[in-house]
Every structure is written in C-alpha cells, then in structure tokens.
Amino acid sequence: MAEDSLLVSRHRSPIGEIVTFYRDGILCHLDFTDCQIRWEKLLRRRFPQLSLIDVSVNSEMEERLMAYFAKETTAFTGVKLDTGGTDFQKEVWDALCKIPFGTTETYSSMATKIGKPKAIRAMAAANALNPISLIIPCHRIIGKDGSLTGYGGGLERKGKLLEHEKR
C-alpha cells in the first residue's frame, strides 16, 4: 500500500452514512459521506498523494457506532486515533474528548480549560479542523448564548447529535 493510501469503510447511522479512514489499521478520519468536499480537502492537506481503497465495513467500528447510537457513553473508549495536526490542535482535540457525553461547552470555556483564555478564535479554528467527528466530540461546542454554531456535518446534524446525547 502506498504511503498515502487509506482504507475506507462506510457505516449506516441514524444521522446519515458515516465514512471512516484508516492508515496502518488506525483511524485517522471519520466524517459523513455527504460532506465529501470537506473530508477530501482535509485528507488531501494531510496526505498529498491520497489514494483511497474501499474495504468492507470495519466490524469493530460498526459495533462502536451502534453502541454510541444506543447511548453507550463509553462506545469509543480505547479507539486508537491518528489525528495528525499541530501540538495546539492536538491539545484542543484532547480537551474536546474530555467533554462528557450529554453535555456542552463553549469556545471560550474550552479556551480557558486549556489554559489559553484569549485563544478563543484559535480554539474555534482547531475545532473546525477536527479530523475525527463524533469520537472527538466537536459537536458538543455551542455558542456562548447557547446557540448552535458551526459544525462540519451541518447544524441540523449537530442538533440531532446533541438531542441524541441528552440523558
């Protein structure tokens, strides 16, 4: 397999078809098939000689996604991730993973949590470049006024995810 070749698996879900990308057996991107322009752009930025190889459904991920949609809060615990990204982005994505299932945070509260309270815009930019939707729960970030704010999968889908996660 060429260095920039990724295995691709597709999964049905209540909020649209999910597509997962693996390099050397490790998840490096998760998105929605109807967001192809977004995920192709992000993948090509990271893997300039991108080559995609469709494979059958990844059964482990299929089980984890089914568990998530059954409201199992630990469905993604232990998934190995290869996010790429800068140190700052990784810090933001790690902080996002600490937002509990069924709760939300704001960009400003998250910037404070990572010890950079003035880095709200940088926090938002890193959030927007999250390569592993759902597992790195960027959908749990809302506006300071409680409104739904940008989400790569669309605001309607973000609302459905937040509604799904309510306890």
Q: Catalytic residue numbers?
A: 138
Tokens 């939300």 sit on residue: 104
Edge-to-edge strands, sheet with 51-54? 26-32, 18-23, 5-11, 51-54
- Half-sphere exposure of 40 toward its Cβ, with a 13 Å CA cutoff? 7
Beta bridge partners, 96, equal none
Give the Cα separation of 148 and 38 in Å (integer). Answer: 19
